[in-house]
Amino acid sequence: MAPKLVSNTERMAHPSQASGVKGATRARQQSKNLKSTRKRSTLYGKLDQDRHEVRLLTIHPRKTQPFSPHPERNAISASLTTQSLDDPTEYFALSYVWESGQYFPRSHRKGTRRAGHLLVDSVRIEVNRNLWLAMERIRQDEKTVRIWVDAVCINQTDLNEKAWQIGLMSRIYQQASRTLIWLGKGSPSSRIAMDFLRSLTPKRFLEEVKKLDEYCQKHFTASPQLHSPLIDDWRFCSVWTDKDSPLAKWDHLSSILGLPWWGRRWVIQEAFFSKKPVVILGNESVSMDKFAELATWHAQYLSVTRDVQVLVKELFRKCPFYYLLRQWKTYRRDISIHRAPLPVWLTLSRDFNQSILRDFIFGVLSLASARDQLNIQPDYWGSDHMVFVRLFIHLIEIYGFRTFRFTLPSFESLGG
């Protein structure tokens, strides 16, 4: 959830601690970071917690900025306004991945600039590249867009504000007219995958699986049932790269199901609380309901079929969201009533990632029962150790030793 911030120690480190050119460069960068932090702090007035106030970002249209042959070098113009959630208004909410090494493998980041810029109320702020791409995609030519974006609308340096704003996230996403789920920058293969997904129905799904079987039997007579080790070996084969082949369509679909968004812990609540979640990949978009339908068809097919092509069988292999997609309608039917105990959500989300250890808890807390939320509050002041100590005390007091029926992850698996 939280962006990568430069610590006070790093900011204020004395240049004499470094040596030579590297030390001078580091000192200049520290000074730049400190000035940037001071400028950004002027954007954030105090929010009224009793009125459940939040900030909304208004993205100004492209026509308000001069033409540039290199738009990626421009800062996207925007402004912040304060809004009480008690006074409903129209806005979008953004769900995306904080771009970092934890979520984006080096190959995925290769060739991309590491940051973009927003010009918010005349203050230039740096945001990660993935967020900048999302904002540029959302920005309109002639109309403004009001949107809630956590990295900008929450003062990330104010831990008190951050804690109680996180407590409002369920309302923020519930009240947004639409949630825009940004998977990332598109490609020719992702367009094929999104077109393929949009075309699927229960009947068409079975037909496409049959086509894949027939295709493999025709082109891979020695081994019509492809196995995982063979997939990478065949990836650059002409039958694999043929965009009209069943292999290509299923492979591209598997690739978008393995994108980092599907494994970020915070997106679980962002998706489940949303009125109308729409998945965006480059210039393509499709309702989140379509992914849920795909997961349902896939699970049903595997349950009644023995010999399944590996591309179909492992379609969701890199998608931690798979089980939740299959339960999509159940958990969304009335999320305010159908709340599972916190240990259930911790178990369901055990394969998801978070950039801060304690967000293993806070990232799903708003989905848990009212009793869990009453006893556990987001805390970004104390140590991770104390946060987890309080968690386990709560679990034992409320659920007793029944807690250990749930397969909670170990500290080692969390990085603790």
**pLDDT tens string 303-335:** 998 888 888 999 999 999 999 999 998 888 777
Q: Provide the residue range defining the domain that includes 261.
A: 201-275+285-330
If asked whether residues 60 and 165 sit together in one domain, one would say: yes
What's the average model confidence in pLDDT over 282-311? 94
Residue at 166 is within a domain:
yes
Given this model, what pLDDT does residue 408 score? 57
If asked whether residues 311 and 209 sit together in one domain, one would say: yes
Per-residue confidence band for 243, with pLDDT thresholds at 50, 70 and 90:
low
Residue at 182 is within a domain:
no
Lowest-pLDDT choice from 338-342, 384-388, 401-405: 401-405
CA 407 to chain centre: 24
Residue at 187 is within a domain:
no
Cα–Cα distance for residue pair 336/176, rounded to 1 Å: 16
If asked whether residues 205 and 310 sit together in one domain, one would say: yes
Backbone angles phi, psi at 104, to 5 degrees: -110, 115
Given this model, what pLDDT does residue 282 score? 95
Given this model, what pLDDT does residue 365 score? 93
Q: Which residues neighbour 14 within 8 Å (Cβ) at sequence distance 6 or greater?
A: none
Residues facing 116 on adjacent strands: 127
Residue at 208 is within a domain:
yes
Q: Is the pLDDT of residue 8 over 90?
A: no
Given this model, what pLDDT does residue 46 score? 95
Instruction: Please state the domain count of the chain.
Output: 4
Given this model, what pLDDT does residue 48 score? 97
Cα–Cα distance for residue pair 213/225, rounded to 1 Å: 8
Q: What is the tens place of the pLDDT at every residue in 212-224?
A: 988 888 776 544 4
If asked whether residues 359 and 402 sit together in one domain, one would say: yes
Given this model, what pLDDT does residue 63 score? 82
Residue at 188 is within a domain:
no
Q: Yes or no: say if 145 and 242 are a contact pair by the CB < 8 Å rule.
A: no
If asked whether residues 265 and 171 sit together in one domain, one would say: no
Average pLDDT across the chain, whole number: 81
Given this model, what pLDDT does residue 73 score? 60
Given this model, what pLDDT does residue 89 score? 95
Choose between 74 and 145: higher pLDDT. 145
What's the average model confidence in pLDDT over 330-358? 85
If asked whether residues 172 and 209 sit together in one domain, one would say: no
If asked whether residues 147 and 220 sit together in one domain, one would say: no
Cα–Cα distance for residue pair 380/5, rounded to 1 Å: 14
Q: What is the tens place of the pLDDT at every residue in 39-84?
A: 666 789 999 999 999 999 999 998 877 555 555 567 899 999 999 9
Choose between 315 and 11: higher pLDDT. 315
Percent of the chain residues topping a pLDDT of 70: 74
What's the average model confidence in pLDDT over 165-181? 96
If asked whether residues 311 and 344 sit together in one domain, one would say: no
Which helix H or strand E contains 182, and what residues bound it? strand 178-184
Top-ranked range on mean pLDDT: pick from 24-28, 187-191, 229-233, 288-292: 288-292
Cα–Cα distance for residue pair 349/346, rounded to 1 Å: 5
| Sheet strand arrangement including 284-287 | 123-128, 115-120, 76-84, 53-59, 145-148, 92-95, 178-184, 277-281, 284-287
Q: Yes or no: say if 77 and 162 are a contact pair by the CB < 8 Å rule.
A: no
If asked whether residues 149 and 110 sit together in one domain, one would say: yes
If asked whether residues 63 and 166 sit together in one domain, one would say: yes
If asked whether residues 223 and 296 sit together in one domain, one would say: yes
